[in-house]
C-alpha cells in the first residue's frame, strides 16, 4: 500500500496534482481497474518503425512492451522494439515534457518563456502569419527539416498537416536533401539515375560481403528491421564478412571475419588502389563494364569528354601523372599495401560479393566522391543485379505496401538544400541554382522570415557551428517568428517565439506507414490505437493546424469536414484501391498490428542487368555513369567555394579538415560523431534511464591517449577553431590511431563558452559540400587535452 501511495503521488505531481484527500486515498487506490493494452508505434527516425504495446491502468501508462506475435524464425519474426521504443512512457512522463503553450519573454536563445492559453497562441501566431505574408510573400515561410516524428500519416514533421495548412494559405519555401543522406542521394542520382539498393536479406546468397562504414545492428536495432535481418542473413550465408571503418562498431561483434581500420574520409583512395590492382592483373569484368556503364575506360566515354578523362585513366595516372597504386592508397588510408592487394583479388574473384556503404562515408566534405567510388567498385566487379549483390549503396527493404499521406499541393516550387536554411535566413535573396543548389527557380525571391519547426532539433543541436547559428537565430531582424512544436524542451526550442506542446504517438490515433521503415522482406502496418489522453494541455498537430486554419479563413479547405480519424479512414481506404491485400480500416483499428507474408527480397537493378534496353536507367546515357554527363555540365557552370571542385568521375578528393589537410599540423586528430544505440539522433536524450545505460563518451585510441596522458574516465576537452566540447574520455583500441569519436546527438549545453553537453556539432563547419550542398559534419580536425 505504501508503494501504491508513492506511485499515486508521483503521477499526481506529474499532472499538477489531483483533488483527492489523504482520507480517500486508500479507498480510491484499492479500486484498481484492469490493465488495458493497446498498440502504438515508435516513429522516430532510426530507419525502423517498431510496434510497441502500451499497457495502461486508470488512464496512466504502467509499462510498455513490444511485439510478442510470431516466433524466432526469420520469416515469422517478431518486430521487437529496442530500448528506445520501449522507453516511450519515459518520454510521455518526462520532467522536460511540454504541457502548456509557451511564449518567449526573454531574448531569443535565453530560454525564458511564460505559459499562455491555446487561444492566445493561435490568435498571435495567425496574426503574425498574416503580417509576414502581407509584408514578404509566402516564400518567406519555411518548415524546417526534422525527423523527430516520421513515417506517420498525420503526426509528421513535414509532409503532414503543417504542409497542408501552408500550401492552402499560399505556399512556403521547400527544401530538398536530408541531413542523413544528402551526399549519397545526389551521388547515386548522378551514378544510377536514382537510389537503388538490394534488400539486406539477399546477403544470404553472398560468398563475400564488404561493408564500408555500415552499422545496422546499432543504428537499426529493431527486431523487425534491417539490423536483425543482417544478422540472420549472415548466419544463413556463411560468407566472409569484412568491415572497413575507422571505428570497430557493434555490427562487427560476433559476425565480422575482419575489421580493416581506415583513415576517415579516404574511401575513394582505397577504391582507386583496389581497382589499380584489378586493372594490372586483368581481374575486371570488361564485358560487363562495356555493356552497362560509361566512362570507366576511354572507349566508353561520351563523345565530348576530354582525352584521359575516364576513371581508368585516372587510376593509371594518365590524367594527373599520379598512379593510384596500393602504395599510394596505403599512405592515405593507413591500410597496409599488402592488404590492399589481397583485398582487390578477393573482391574481384569471389562471387557473389555484396558491397555496401553506410551513410557515414558520405558525411564528409568529399562525401559525394566517396559514395560514387564505392558504387564503382560494385560495377567493375560485376556485382550488381544478381542474388547476393548490391549496388554499393546502403541496403534497404523490399517495399510493397504504402498508405497515402495528406494531400499537400504547394504552389511554390522554390527549394533550398535543407542544410542551408540558416543561409536562407540572412542571405536568401542572394542564393541561386548554380551557387547554392537552389531548385525550382534560378534565384530565391525572399529570405526566410517565419519558421515552423516540428519535432526537430536541427535549428541548433543537429546543425553545425552552434555558436554561429546562435547569432543568426538570435537576431530578430532576420527571422521574425519561430514556432516550435514538440513534446519536450530542447536546445532548439530555446530559439522559438512560441512553443506548442505536441501529443506523442501514444496519445493519438495514426498510422505508421510501412514504407517509412526498413523491415527487409517482412512488411507490417501499425495503427496507433491511442493509449491515453494527451498529458496536460498537449494537442495533436492536426488540431493545432485546424485552429490556425479557422483564423486564416481556410478551415473548410483544410479539413474538408474531416476529423483526424476521418482523414485516416479516407486515406487508408483510398490506398486499399491500389493494394487489395490491405485489410479493412475497421480491422486495422481493431488489431493495431498487421503483419504480411514475407515477400521476395529485392535485388537492385535486376531488370536492368537482364535487359538494359527494356529497363533503361534514368541517367542521360540510360546506363550506369561512372563518368557523369550531368556533373560534367555542372563542372563548367557552377560557382563553388574556394577549394571545392566538381569532377565527372569519382576521384579521391582530399577533404577539408581531413587527413591530408595542412590544418592537421595544428589539430592532429580527425573527429566525428557516430550513431548511437542510446539515441536516435538527439531523440531520447532527455530520458535519464537511457543515458545511464548508454553514457556519452569521447573515444580516443590508446596510442593517442598515452601521448596526451589521458586515461578512461578523465574529463577532456576537444577543441578546434569553431568551439570546445567537454566530456568523459574512453581510451580504446576500437578507434584507429589519429582519430577520435563521440556519439552524435547529445544536447549542447554551454558553460563559459564551452559545450559541456558534448555535442559534436559544436565543432562542425557550416560549409556545405560542393555538389549536394550537404552537411559535411564528419570532416573535423581537433586536439584533445585532459582538463
pLDDT at 516 (0 to 100): 74
What is the rounded distance in angstroms from the CA atom of residue 458 to the CA atom of residue 764?
Answer: 13
Residue 735 carries which DSSP code? B
How many percent of the chain have pLDDT more than 70? 96
Cα of 206 vs its chain's centroid, Å: 27
**Average pLDDT for 609-622:** 98
**Average pLDDT for 748-767:** 97
Assign residue 738 a region: left if phi > 0, alpha if psi is -120 to 50, beta otherwise? left
- Under 8 Å between Cβ of 669 and 701: no
Whether the per-residue pLDDT at 6 is higher than 70: the answer is: no
CA angle, 680 as apex, 677 and 682 as ends, to 5°? Answer: 115
- Under 8 Å between Cβ of 485 and 500: yes
The residue among 61, 55, 42, 67 whose CA lies nearest residue 155 is 42
pLDDT at 518 (0 to 100): 80
Partners of 485 in the β-ladder: 454, 500
Assign residue 739 a region: left if phi > 0, alpha if psi is -120 to 50, beta otherwise? beta
What is the rounded distance in angstroms from the CA atom of residue 527 to the CA atom of residue 571?
Answer: 13
Residue 534 carries which DSSP code? P
148 vs 550, more confident: 550
pLDDT band at 9 (very low <50, low <70, confident <90, very high): very low
Whether the per-residue pLDDT at 302 is higher than 60: the answer is: yes
Asked, for residue 651, whether it belongs to a domain, the answer is: no
The burial of 376, by beta-carbon neighbours within 10 Å (0-12 exposed, 13-18 middle, 19 or more buried), is given as: buried
Give the number of other Cβ atoms within 10 Å of residue 736's Cβ.
25
Q: Rounded mean pLDDT of the chain?
A: 93
CATH number of the domain enclosing 447: 3.40.50.740
What is the rounded distance in angstroms from the CA atom of residue 648 to the CA atom of residue 631?
Answer: 5
The residue among 267, 257, 198, 266 whose CA lies nearest residue 226 is 198
452 vs 580, more confident: 452
Q: 80 and 157: one domain?
A: no
- Under 8 Å between Cβ of 690 and 678: yes
pLDDT for 401-437, tens place per residue?
Answer: 789 999 999 999 999 999 999 999 999 999 999 999 9
Q: 586 and 630: one domain?
A: no
Domain with 11, as residue range(s), is: 2-92
The residue among 209, 609, 268, 600 whose CA lies nearest residue 389 is 209
String of DSSP letters for 569-597:
HHHHHHHHTT-TTSPPHHHHHHHSEEE--
**Average pLDDT for 636-654:** 97
b/e map of 260-290 (b: 16 or more CB within 10 Å)?
A: bbbbbbbbbbbbbbbbbbbbeeebbbeebbe
HSE (side-chain half, CA atoms, 13 Å) at 780: 32
Cell of 546: 485546424
What is the rounded distance in angstroms from the CA atom of residue 61 to the CA atom of residue 435?
Answer: 52
Number of domains into which the chain is organized:
4
Q: 343 and 316: one domain?
A: yes
Q: 349 and 206: one domain?
A: yes
Asked, for residue 600, whether it belongs to a domain, the answer is: no
CA angle, 709 as apex, 707 and 713 as ends, to 5°? Answer: 130
CATH number of the domain enclosing 289: 3.40.228.10
**Average pLDDT for 582-600:** 94
Asked, for residue 646, whether it belongs to a domain, the answer is: no
pLDDT at 400 (0 to 100): 73
- Residue linked to cell 526469420: 74
pLDDT for 688-731, tens place per residue?
Answer: 999 999 999 999 999 999 999 999 999 999 999 999 999 999 99
Cα of 351 vs its chain's centroid, Å: 31
Whether the per-residue pLDDT at 19 is higher than 50: the answer is: no
Asked, for residue 532, whether it belongs to a domain, the answer is: yes
Q: 480 and 568: one domain?
A: yes
- Considering Cα of 544, then 550, then 553, then 558, what sign does the dihedral take? positive
Cell of 224: 523487425
- Under 8 Å between Cβ of 352 and 391: no
pLDDT at 156 (0 to 100): 86
86 vs 699, more confident: 699
Q: What is the pTM of this model?
A: 0.94
Count H helices, E strands: the chain? Answer: 26, 28
pLDDT at 1 (0 to 100): 41
Cell of 396: 534497404
pLDDT for 515-538, tens place per residue?
Answer: 777 888 888 999 999 999 999 999
Q: 28 and 136: one domain?
A: no
- Under 8 Å between Cβ of 602 and 198: yes
The mean-pLDDT minimum among 11-25, 33-47, 113-127, 649-663 falls in 11-25
What is the rounded distance in angstroms from the CA atom of residue 354 to the CA atom of residue 238?
Answer: 13
- Residue linked to cell 522536460: 96
Cell of 47: 530507419
Assign residue 385 a region: left if phi > 0, alpha if psi is -120 to 50, beta otherwise? left
Asked, for residue 699, whether it belongs to a domain, the answer is: yes
pLDDT at 223 (0 to 100): 77
Q: Which backbone phi and psi does 323 adopt, to 5 degrees?
A: -75, 135
Q: Which residues contact 141 (CB under 8 A, 6 or more apart)?
A: 129, 132, 133, 166, 171, 172, 173, 448, 449, 450, 452
- Under 8 Å between Cβ of 414 and 441: yes
Three-state helix/strand/coil letters over 224-261: CCHHHHHHHHHHHHCCEEEEECCECCHHHCCCCCEEEC
Q: 570 and 476: one domain?
A: yes
What is the rounded distance in angstroms from the CA atom of residue 316 to the CA atom of residue 276?
Answer: 7
Whether the per-residue pLDDT at 11 is higher than 50: the answer is: no
pLDDT at 46 (0 to 100): 85
Q: Which long-range contacts (CB under 8 A, 24 or more apart) does 551-557 make?
A: 551/122, 551/123, 551/126, 552/126, 552/129, 552/130, 552/165, 552/169, 554/165, 554/168, 554/169, 557/168
Asked, for residue 494, whether it belongs to a domain, the answer is: yes
Cell of 416: 533550398
Q: 58 and 142: one domain?
A: no
**Average pLDDT for 586-590:** 97
The burial of 543, by beta-carbon neighbours within 10 Å (0-12 exposed, 13-18 middle, 19 or more buried), is given as: middle
- Under 8 Å between Cβ of 488 and 366: no
String of DSSP letters for 752-778:
TTEETT--GGGS---PBPTTT--B-TT
225 vs 577, more confident: 577
Asked, for residue 619, whether it belongs to a domain, the answer is: yes
CATH number of the domain enclosing 704: 2.40.40.20
Whether the per-residue pLDDT at 399 is higher than 80: the answer is: no
pLDDT at 21 (0 to 100): 36
Q: 110 and 220: one domain?
A: no
pLDDT band at 31 (very low <50, low <70, confident <90, very high): low
Q: 622 and 734: one domain?
A: no
Q: 392 and 447: one domain?
A: no
Asked, for residue 643, whether it belongs to a domain, the answer is: no
241 vs 225, more confident: 241
Q: 199 and 335: one domain?
A: yes
Whether the per-residue pLDDT at 26 is higher than 50: the answer is: no
- Under 8 Å between Cβ of 44 and 147: yes
Amino acid at each position: 500500500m505504501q508503494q501504491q501511495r508513492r506511485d499515486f503521488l508521483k503521477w499526481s505531481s506529474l499532472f499538477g496534482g489531483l483533488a483527492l484527500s489523504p482520507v480517500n486515498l486508500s479507498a480510491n487506490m484499492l479500486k484498481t481497474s484492469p490493465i488495458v493494452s493497446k498498440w502504438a508505434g515508435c516513429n522516430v527516425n532510426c530507419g525502423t518503425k517498431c510496434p510497441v504495446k502500451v499497457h495502461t491502468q486508470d488512464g496512466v501508462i504502467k509499462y510498455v512492451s513490444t511485439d510478442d506475435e510470431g516466433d524466432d524464425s526469420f520469416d515469422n519474426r517478431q518486430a521487437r522494439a529496442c530500448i528506445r521504443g520501449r522507453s516511450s512512457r519515459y518520454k510521455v512522463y518526462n520532467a522536460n515534457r511540454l504541457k502548456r503553450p509557451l511564449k518567449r519573454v526573454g531574448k531569443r536563445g535565453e530560454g525564458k518563456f511564460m505559459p499562455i492559453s491555446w487561444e492566445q497562441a493561435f490568435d498571435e501566431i495567425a496574426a503574425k502569419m498574416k503580417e509576414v505574408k502581407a509584408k514578404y510573400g509566402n516564400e518567406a515561410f519555411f518548415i524546417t527539416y526534422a525527423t523527430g516524428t516520421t513515417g506517420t500519416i498525420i503526426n509528421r514533421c513535414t509532409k503532414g498537416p503543417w504542409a497542408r495548412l501552408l500550401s492552402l494559405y499560399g505556399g512556403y519555401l521547400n527544401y530538398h536533401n536530408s541531413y542523413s543522406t544528402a551526399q549519397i542521394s545526389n551521388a547515386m542520382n548522378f551514378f544510377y539515375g536514382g537510389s537503388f539498393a538490394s534488400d539486406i536479406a539477399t546477403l544470404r546468397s553472398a560468398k563475400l560481403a564488404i561493408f564500408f562504414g555500415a552499422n545496422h545492428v546499432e543504428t537499426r536495432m529493431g527486431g523487425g528491421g534491417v539490423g536483425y535481418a543482417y544478422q540472420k542473413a549472415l548466419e544463413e550465408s556463411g560468407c566472409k564478412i569484412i568491415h572497413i571503418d575507422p571505428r570497430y562498431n557493434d555490427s562487427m561483434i560476433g559476425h565480422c571475419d575482419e575489421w580493416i581500420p581506415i583513415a576517415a574520409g579516404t574511401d575513394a583512395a582505397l577504391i582507386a588502389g583496389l581497382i589499380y590492382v584489378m586493372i594490372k592483373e586483368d581481374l575486371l569484368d570488361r564485358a560487363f563494364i562495356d555493356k552497362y556503364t560509361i566512362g570507366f575506360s576511354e572507349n566508353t566515354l561520351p563523345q565530348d569528354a576530354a582525352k584521359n578523362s575516364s576513371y581508368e585513366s585516372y587510376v593509371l595516372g594518365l590524367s594527373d601523372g599520379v598512379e593510384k597504386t596500393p602504395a599510394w592508397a596505403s599512405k592515405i588510408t593507413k591500410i597496409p599495401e599488402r592488404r590492399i592487394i589481397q583485398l582487390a583479388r578477393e573482391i574481384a574473384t569471389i562471387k557473389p560479393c555484396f558491397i555496401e556503404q553506410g551513410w557515414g562515408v558520405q558525411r564528409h566534405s568529399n562525401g559525394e566522391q566517396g559514395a560514387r567510388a564505392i558504387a564503382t567498385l560494385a560495377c567493375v566487379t560485376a556485382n550488381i543485379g544478381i542474388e547476393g549483390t548490391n549496388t554499393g549503396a546502403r541496403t534497404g527493404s523490399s517495399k510493397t505496401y504504402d498508405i497515402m499521406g495528406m494531400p499537400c499541393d504547394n504552389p511554390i516550387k522554390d527549394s533550398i538544400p535543407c542544410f542551408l536554411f540558416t543561409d536562407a535566413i540572412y542571405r536568401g535573396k542572394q542564393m541561386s541554382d548554380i551557387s547554392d543548389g537552389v531548385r525550382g527557380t534560378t534565384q530565391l525571391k525572399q529570405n526566410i522570415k517565419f519558421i515552423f519547426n516540428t519535432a526537430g532539433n536541427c535549428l541548433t543541436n543537429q546543425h553545425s557551428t552552434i555558436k554561429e547559428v546562435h547569432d543568426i537565430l538570435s537576431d530578430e531582424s532576420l527571422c521574425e517568428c519561430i514556432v516550435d512544436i514538440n513534446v519536450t524542451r530542447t536546445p532548439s526550442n530555446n530559439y522559438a517565439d512560441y512553443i506548442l506542446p505536441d501529443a506523442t504517438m501514444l496519445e493519438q490515433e495514426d498510422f505508421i506507414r510501412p514504407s517509412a521503415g526498413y523491415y527487409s522482406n517482412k512488411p507490417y502496418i501499425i495503427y496507433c490505437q491511442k493509449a491515453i489522453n494527451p498529458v496536460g494541455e498537449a494537442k495533436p498537430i492536426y488540431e493545432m493546424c485546424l485552429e490556425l486554419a479557422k483564423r486564416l479563413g481556410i478551415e473548410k479547405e483544410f479539413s474538408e469536414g474531416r476529423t483526424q480519424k476521418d482523414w485516416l479512414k479516407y486515406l487508408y481506404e483510398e490506398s486499399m484501391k491500389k493494394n487489395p491485400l490491405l485489410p479493412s480500416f475497421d480491422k486495422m483499428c481493431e488489431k493495431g498490428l498487421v503483419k504480411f507474408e514475407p515477400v521476395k527480397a529485392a535485388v537492385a537493378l535486376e531488370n536492368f542487368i537482364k535487359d538494359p534496353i527494356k529497363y533503361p536507367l534514368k541517367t542521360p546515357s540510360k546506363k550506369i555513369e561512372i563518368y557523369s554527363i550531368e556533373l560534367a555540365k555542372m563542372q563548367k557552370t557552377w560557382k563553388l567555394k574556394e577549394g571545392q571542385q566538381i569532377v565527372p568521375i569519382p576521384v579521391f578528393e582530399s577533404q577539408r579538415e581531413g587527413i591530408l589537410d595542412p590544418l592537421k599540423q595544428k589539430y592532429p586528430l580527425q573527429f566525428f560523431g557516430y550513431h548511437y544505440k542510446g539515441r536516435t539522433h538527439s531523440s531520447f536524450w532527455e530520458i535519464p534511464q537511457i543515458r545511464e545505460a548508454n553514457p556519452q563518451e569521447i573515444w580516443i585510441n590508446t596510442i593517442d591517449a598515452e601521448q596526451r596522458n589521458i586515461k578512461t574516465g578523465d574529463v577532456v576537452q576537444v577543441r578546434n577553431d569553431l568551439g570546445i566540447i567537454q566530456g568523459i574520455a574512453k581510451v580504446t583500441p576500437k578507434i584507429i590511431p589519429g582519430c577520435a569519436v563521440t556519439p552524435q546527438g547529445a544536447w549542447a549545453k554551454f558553460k563559459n563558452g564551452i559545450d559541456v553537453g558534448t555535442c559534436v556539432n559544436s565543432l562542425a563547419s557550416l560549409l556545405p559540400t560542393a555538389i549536394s550542398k550537404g552537411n559535411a559534419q564528419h570532416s573535423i580536425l581537433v586536439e584533445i587535452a585532459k582538463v
